[in-house]
Structures are given as C-alpha cells and as structure tokens.
Chain A
C-alpha cells in the first residue's frame, strides 16, 4: 500500500485584501461556541480565537497607512514536528500536535489550567476561561452541537475548526473516499471572509491554493519563498502554519523583530 504523505493544514491571509470587517471573528465565535460576557471592553479577558489587529506604519498624514491583521492560532510545528512552543510545555499532554494534519489540539477535559502554554505562546493565541460560560436566555439552542463548550479554569484556542475536518472525513468516507478535496474542509473564518482574504488548505499539497500562494520551502521549515509572503515571528523558530501576504514592506517588516538597520531579507530562525 502506498504511503500517503501527512497533511499539513495551514492558512494564507492576504493582508492587502483584509478590510478589518471582523466577519472572521464573528464566524469563529459562532462556529466554536466561544463564550462572551456582557462587558467585553477588557480585551485581555476576552476570548477571541481569531483576533484582528490593527497595524499602522506610524507615519503622519498624508503618509499614514494601516493594515488589519487577523491572527488565529499559528499551529506551530517548531523545528521538528510537534515541537510547538505550547505542546512541549504542557505538563499533562492537554495540548497535542496531530501528525496527520499538523493541527495543534486542545483537550479541554484534560487541561487543569496551569496556563504554562499561554506563557509559552508569543502570539497570545491561547485564552483562559476566567469564568464559566453564560449564554443569554435561549442562545444555548443556537450552540453548535459539534463543539463542546468549555468550563471555567481551562485554556482554549483556535482548532482550525477541527470538528469540520472530522465531519468532512466522515462524509468522504460515506462516499467511499479516504482523501478530502480542497473545498471539503474549510474553516469558518475562511468561509466567512467577504473579501476572500483567507485561504485554507494543505501546505504539503502542491495542488492546493495555500501551497501556490506561500510557496513553502521544506528545506527551511516551510519558510515562504514568495517574496510577498511572511510568517509572524519567523526568527523565533516556531514554524507557524499561518502565512501572510502583503505587497507593503512595512507590513512584512511588522511581522517580525529586526535590529536597527537590519534588512528584512530572510533571516534564519535563531537556532536553525
């Protein structure tokens, strides 16, 4: 039997297209039963699996430029498969790296809330449930039956809508297929984006749009070879699966830390 290459699901977000409308955030919250409170003004206590940041080039009018940057979990692979910053530190294996899909999972019933994973994540993609979820009257009927709500005291994060992957696999299996077509598994944020800024697919599959857009270099841990593509904090060696595209250099430069007068030319990860 021919050995099938493992999937590496990832995302490419075109920042030139993103309007910052927040549809991805709303779709994500609805799809994944993300809890919310009456007062969400303190963003350090809000749970936003997908969060849209507003970046600015810091220049005065008329040279001011802004960019909206949606940030899901990066599903980092690390310098070798599964060596994500968060997966390695979790003391109870409550977060796991799926080698079949490359997706970093969170097992809510295993997590005991030590928050070491949150400390390890440089993207602030992990959120703690400081309260038990309370849904407005009647809203519990609108919750997705495919995603378990989380209890107080555990960490949660973007799962690349893993339940949608499972449903797609089941459907494909019923049709006698083992492999998924590109459009059969798409995350909620991808589907909700009105500007078509988010593309999702298998980074290991040259036929998938994400592969063609990011052009990942397997010899350098998937570093993009598309000159307009970049990953957040590439130099840390987290090896994220979320790529960003931008034609603007200041945006690409904002994706990582550089020393003064240092060029943006592809720098190796610090322990590469």
Chain B
C-alpha cells in the first residue's frame, strides 16, 4: 500500500501491521495528551507536586531525556569534528533519537510551567544570572540544530528525493553538516552543563550545592561529561532494541563497538570525577554547612546509601569496565548489560539531583518530604516515550535511517510487480542523483 514510500533495498512489515502498531502506541500517546490538556486547562493542581516539591517527576524526565539525548551531539562531534568515519552508520539514528529527546524536553517544559502562555518570558525578560535561562536558550537553539540535522534525512525519502529542489537541498545540507555538528556540540556543552548548574548553584540546599570554577559549579561539568558518556550508550541501547524488534541487523558491529569503546572511557573518567566530587562534597562542603553524608541518606523510607552505590559503582564503574574491554564490547550480553546500566545510571543521577534535593530537609525542625506522582504526571511523562516510538517507527519505515541496512540484510528478489509499477511513475531524475544510503 505504501511501498512507494519505503526506501529501496529494504523490507518492511505489511502496512496493516504497521498501522496496528502505531495505533496501539498512539492510544498511549492520546492518554498522555489527555493528561497534558488537563494540566493546561485545569492547572498544576492535577499533579501531586506541592510547595516542598516544586520540582518533581517532570523536571527529572526533562533532565533525563536531555542526558540520554546527549548521544546526538557527542556522536556528531566524533563523526564530523574528530573524523570517526565508522560512526556514519549510526549518526542518523543518533540524530533522530536526539531530536525526539529534545522535542520531548521542550514539550515537558511547556507542561511544567504554571503559566504556559508566559513561557516566552524566559527569553524576553531573561535573567542572565540564572542557569535556567541558559538552559532555555541553548536547549531551543540546539533543538533548531537537531531539526536541521534531521531534515536531510527526511529529504531522502524516496518520493521527496524525486523533487530536484529537495534533492539538492538535502545534498547541500549534508555538505555543511560539520558546521552544525560543531554548533550542536558547543550548544550542548552549555545546556548540559547549565542543567547541572541548575542544581549545583543552589547554595541554600546543601545536598545539591557544589563549589566549582568561577560561576560554574562542578555539577556543570559533570552533567556534560555524563551526557557525553551515557548518551551514546542510550543510542546503542535504542539501536539494539530496534534490531531486536525488527529482527534485523541494522548497524555494523564496528560502529557499535567504536561508540561503545569511546563511551566506556568517557564513563570511566566520569565515574572517577564523580567519585572525587562526592568525596569532596561529603567531607568538606556538607560538613561546612553542619551536615554529614549520612544526613542525606538516612531517616527516610527511600533514599538510603544504596542509591549512591547504585549510581556510581553499579551503574558507573561496572558498565565502564565492560565497555573499555574488547571482550566486554564483543560479548552481546555484556554489552546489553553495560549500555542498560549506563543509561539507568545517568537517569538515577538526574533523579537524585532533582527529587532527592527536594526531599532532604534543610531546616532542623522539618523532616523528609516524600512524593509520589499523580497519574497525570505519569501519563504526561510517558507521552514523549510514545511519541518517540511512533516517530522512530515512521522514520524507520519511510527513511533510510540505517545506511547499512540493505547491505546487512540483502533481499533475495524484488517483487517484479512492484518494480514495474515504480518504473511506470518514475520521473526523469538523473541516475547519478538516485538515492544513496544516507550518510548523515
């Protein structure tokens, strides 16, 4: 039914099966949209946030998707600036995942603010001293960059590519992509960092506060570092999940292993830096404010020292050691474990830096604040996931997201009927300009 839109040389599931899949995920998406509309029309009283939990599930989701979406900027940096050519096989998918993550982050922010119609105030009345201002500017700009990086892939759709203007536009955008990759890396450094700064500058909250260099707390650098380390792991994880669902090999092992190796070293160095930061904070910063490490991890039903061990040791050092060893990278199960742990680790870090910050009592006569999100908060947090799944499904079906796919999954014979039909409607496009596997 939609065979004319499907890239050449690849096989896709029957159209009804695809529609059924999109419809099921679409139902989840609609549930999220309903919750979103409730929040917009009835207000944030639909949530379980309160005056102790001004920041809650959504801000965590925001920070988490941006962290795992860091695979886009870091893979782009490696591919275009450091010339790691092998990564051309995964860069499209990294960009697509990044695009989904960042558009989701913007959507979550739009739901999260109390007066959504005033959202533009953050740009118009910008306070240059606020980390959140930096986040808003860099996030929006980088989303623009990701859109620019995603457009050439859309233009490579078989039917769109037939229009000479779009064909040449896509080609020329590919040519200049290094500029956007560099811009993206620059912007990402600052918005990933400023998201870390959001917590790190809170000098009224000893659990979050960190010293640093000039105006930047250590969390600024740690957030960028962790996003660069764990973002690519998430890209690999989603690639592996896609391969499992489609039952196809989509990306060459060399690309996966190279990205995994770089991620591993980034994760190892990050984990060392994070350990040093935690050590200094626990022994110098917090005691100077009259608090000990265990003040932050006791007398409450959830936040024990286990969360620190889980974040740094189990989800930091363990996946790092797996990924830096050739044996670990080549072992499918070990790779799965490593990339999953790394993704969980960065999400725990963001959780801790948002929700545990709110939970820890600072006034001596207050106690821990606990919180559980309302269904509206959960639904609106799942909404971007459903949106992401649908966008991936559509992109995978109609765009040449994986340039290696035809080579890795050779088709035995093309259905003769289909070929004939295509030739009948084929306009006069120069053969040299025929669709090639996407490179960016």
> Measuring CB to CB, which residues of chain A are less than 8 angstroms from any residue of chain B?
42, 44-47, 53, 55, 69, 85, 88-94, 110-116, 118-124, 126-132, 151-155, 232-233, 235-238, 253-260, 262, 267, 270-271
Which 8 pairs, one residue from A and one from B, show the smallest C-beta to C-beta distance? A113-B114, A153-B114, A257-B290, A115-B54, A118-B54, A44-B50, A122-B204, A112-B118
Q: Say yes or no: is B366 at the interface (Cβ < 8 Å to chain A).
A: yes
CB distance from B123 to the nearest CB of A (A): 9
Q: Say yes or no: is B316 at the interface (Cβ < 8 Å to chain A).
A: no
Q: Say yes or no: is B44 at the interface (Cβ < 8 Å to chain A).
A: yes
Q: How far is the CA of A110 from the CA of B363 in the complex (A)?
A: 29
Given contacts A44-B53, A111-B118, A232-B363, 10 further A-B contacts (CB under 8 A): A46-B51, A47-B51, A89-B131, A91-B126, A92-B121, A120-B205, A123-B363, A127-B51, A128-B54, A260-B292
* A93 close to B203 (CB less than 8 A): no
Could you tell me which residues of chain B, from 339 to 393, have a CB within 8 Å of some CB in chain A? 357-358, 362-366, 369
CB-CB under 8 A for A256 and B290, given A112-B118, A122-B363, A270-B285: yes
CB distance from A100 to the nearest CB of B (A): 20
Q: How far is the CA of A36 from the CA of B357 in the complex (A)?
A: 28
* A124 close to B133 (CB less than 8 A): no
Nearest residue in A to B292 (C-beta to C-beta)? A259
> Measuring CB to CB, which residues of chain B are less than 8 angstroms from any residue of chain A?
43-45, 49-55, 112-116, 118-119, 121-122, 124-127, 129-133, 136, 198, 201-206, 211, 285, 287-292, 295, 357-358, 362-366, 369
Q: How far is the CA of A233 from the CA of B132 in the complex (A)?
A: 25
* B45 close to A130 (CB less than 8 A): yes
* A88 close to B130 (CB less than 8 A): yes
Q: Which of B54, B122, B366 has the most CB of A within 10 A?
A: B54
* B130 close to A89 (CB less than 8 A): yes
Residues of chain B contacted by A271 (CB below 8 angstroms): 203, 211
* A124 close to B51 (CB less than 8 A): yes
Nearest residue in A to B290 (C-beta to C-beta)? A257
Residues of chain B contacted by A93 (CB below 8 angstroms): 125-127
14 pairs across A/B with beta carbons < 8 Å? A55-B365, A92-B127, A112-B114, A112-B119, A112-B121, A114-B113, A115-B55, A119-B358, A121-B204, A130-B45, A235-B288, A256-B364, A258-B290, A262-B290
CB-CB under 8 A for A92 and B122, given A122-B362, A236-B289: yes
Secondary structure of the B side of the interface? loop
Interchain CB contact (< 8 A) of A113 among B44, B127, B205: B44
Nearest residue in A to B358 (C-beta to C-beta)? A119
Interchain CB contact (< 8 A) of B204 among A91, A120, A267: A120
* A116 close to B198 (CB less than 8 A): yes
Q: Which of A120, A128, A258, A262 has the most CB of B within 10 A?
A: A120
* B204 close to A112 (CB less than 8 A): no
Residues of chain B contacted by A260 (CB below 8 angstroms): 292
* B364 close to A255 (CB less than 8 A): yes
Secondary structure of the A side of the interface? loop
* B204 close to A236 (CB less than 8 A): yes
* B364 close to A152 (CB less than 8 A): no
Interchain CB contact (< 8 A) of A91 among B132, B357, B363: B132
Nearest residue in A to B44 (C-beta to C-beta)? A130
CB distance from A28 to the nearest CB of B (A): 16
CB distance from B201 to the nearest CB of A (A): 7
Residues of chain A contacted by B43 (CB below 8 angstroms): 130-132, 152-153
CB distance from A79 to the nearest CB of B (A): 8
Residues of chain B contacted by A238 (CB below 8 angstroms): 203-204
CB distance from B44 to the nearest CB of A (A): 6
Residues of chain A contacted by B50 (CB below 8 angstroms): 42, 44-45, 130
Q: How far is the CA of A259 from the CA of B195 in the complex (A)?
A: 31
* A113 close to B115 (CB less than 8 A): yes
Nearest residue in A to B362 (C-beta to C-beta)? A122
Residues of chain A contacted by B292 (CB below 8 angstroms): 259-260
Residues of chain A contacted by B288 (CB below 8 angstroms): 235, 270
* A85 close to B51 (CB less than 8 A): no
* A90 close to B52 (CB less than 8 A): no
CB distance from B244 to the nearest CB of A (A): 39
CB-CB under 8 A for A124 and B364, given A92-B121, A236-B206: no
Nearest residue in A to B197 (C-beta to C-beta)? A89
Q: How far is the CA of A270 from the CA of B211 in the complex (A)?
A: 10
Nearest residue in B to A232 (C-beta to C-beta)? B363
Q: Which of B52, B124, B132, B289 has the most CB of A within 10 A?
A: B289
Residues of chain B contacted by A129 (CB below 8 angstroms): 114
Residues of chain A contacted by B364 (CB below 8 angstroms): 253-257
* B132 close to A116 (CB less than 8 A): yes
* B114 close to A152 (CB less than 8 A): yes
CB-CB under 8 A for A44 and B51, given A115-B114, A235-B289: yes
CB distance from B295 to the nearest CB of A (A): 8
* A91 close to B133 (CB less than 8 A): yes
Q: How far is the CA of A53 from the CA of B366 in the complex (A)?
A: 9
CB distance from A54 to the nearest CB of B (A): 8
CB distance from A65 to the nearest CB of B (A): 13
CB distance from A194 to the nearest CB of B (A): 24
Q: How far is the CA of A258 from the CA of B288 in the complex (A)?
A: 9
CB distance from A103 to the nearest CB of B (A): 18
CB distance from A188 to the nearest CB of B (A): 21
Q: How far is the CA of A168 from the CA of B130 in the complex (A)?
A: 34
Residues of chain B contacted by A53 (CB below 8 angstroms): 365
CB distance from A222 to the nearest CB of B (A): 17
Q: How far is the CA of A257 from the CA of B366 in the complex (A)?
A: 12
Residues of chain A contacted by B55 (CB below 8 angstroms): 115-116, 118-119
CB-CB under 8 A for A126 and B130, given A110-B121, A119-B358, A233-B204: no
Q: How far is the CA of A91 from the CA of B295 in the complex (A)?
A: 31
Residues of chain A contacted by B121 (CB below 8 angstroms): 92, 94, 110, 112
CB distance from A151 to the nearest CB of B (A): 8
Q: How far is the CA of A113 from the CA of B121 in the complex (A)?
A: 11
Nearest residue in B to A121 (C-beta to C-beta)? B204
Q: How far is the CA of A148 from the CA of B384 in the complex (A)?
A: 38
* A92 close to B126 (CB less than 8 A): yes
Q: How far is the CA of A238 from the CA of B362 in the complex (A)?
A: 13
CB-CB under 8 A for A92 and B125, given A124-B51, A235-B290, A270-B288: yes
Q: How far is the CA of A115 from the CA of B43 in the complex (A)?
A: 14
Q: Which of A42, A55, A113, A267 has the most CB of B within 10 A?
A: A113
CB distance from B338 to the nearest CB of A (A): 33
* A89 close to B201 (CB less than 8 A): yes
* B54 close to A154 (CB less than 8 A): no
